[in-house]
Each structure stands twice: as C-alpha cells, then as structure tokens.
Amino acid sequence: DGGITQSPKYLFRKEGQNVTLSCEQNLNHDAMYWYRQDPGQGLRLIYYSQIVNDFQKGDIAEGYSVSREKKESFPLTVTSAQKNPTAFYLCASSMWGENEQFFGPGTRLTVL
C-alpha cells in the first residue's frame, strides 16, 4: 500500500538529548514537509524539501535539523537547542507543484 509512515508514534526523551523522528513515503512524491502541532494552534511548518539533497527552513526551524539523502526519507532531528520540543510532529508529502499534501500518522514527542 502507498502511504507515509512515521515512527515511532510516541517518543519520550530526557531534556538535553537530541532525538530523530522518522518519515518515509512510497508515493514517489518529490516534496516532503515537517509540521509541528501544539494545542489550540494551527500546524506550523518546520522544514520542507522539494528535491533530494535540498531543503528549506519553514517558519519555526530553530532548534531543528533535517536531511534528504533519499527521495523516500525525510528525517527530522529535534536538537537540544529547541526550547520547547514537546509537541505533535506531522510529516507530509506532495507531488512537485501540486497543492494537495498527504499526511503521516504523526509522532508525539514528550521531553521530560
């Protein structure tokens, strides 16, 4: 089945540790996105990538890093520099030039 997978669904980390969230898609989509969702707020764009080996900062990129070594994969690292990392993280993908995005199931990160 085609789709987007994120793992794990729930993740707990101690303060000060870096953590990497996985996002994989087999839809042959060119573009991939990372969003953060906090209670009472709309999704906010962290990073996006339109092509392999290239990515752009979104609205709230500070404290995060990404890589796009393969078309299918767009991992997000939440670094210790992120002041408030506890949130729900959603990955999405789309065909290049198309508006419709397809979302993964999300990862809920809790930093203790």
- Do 91 and 4 touch, CB atoms closer than 8 A? yes
Out of 40, 83, 97, 112, the residue judged to bind other proteins by CB under 8 A: 40
Report in angstroms how near the CB of residue 11 gets to other proteins at its nearest. 13
Q: Can you list the positions of beta strands (E) in the chain?
A: 4-7, 10-13, 19-25, 31-37, 44-51, 54-57, 64-66, 76-78, 87-94, 102-103, 107-111
- Interface segment toward other proteins; rule CB under 8 A; list 17-25, 40-48, 60-68, 72-80: 40-48
Q: Tell me the per-residue interface mask from 41 to 80 with other proteins, x by CB under 8 A, - otherwise.
A: xxxxx-----------------------------------
- Do 104 and 23 touch, CB atoms closer than 8 A? yes
Report in angstroms how near the CB of residue 42 gets to other proteins at its nearest. 3
Number of residues lying near other proteins (CB under 8 A): 20
In whole angstroms, give the CA distance from residue 13 to residue 42. 24
104 touches other proteins by CB under 8 A: yes
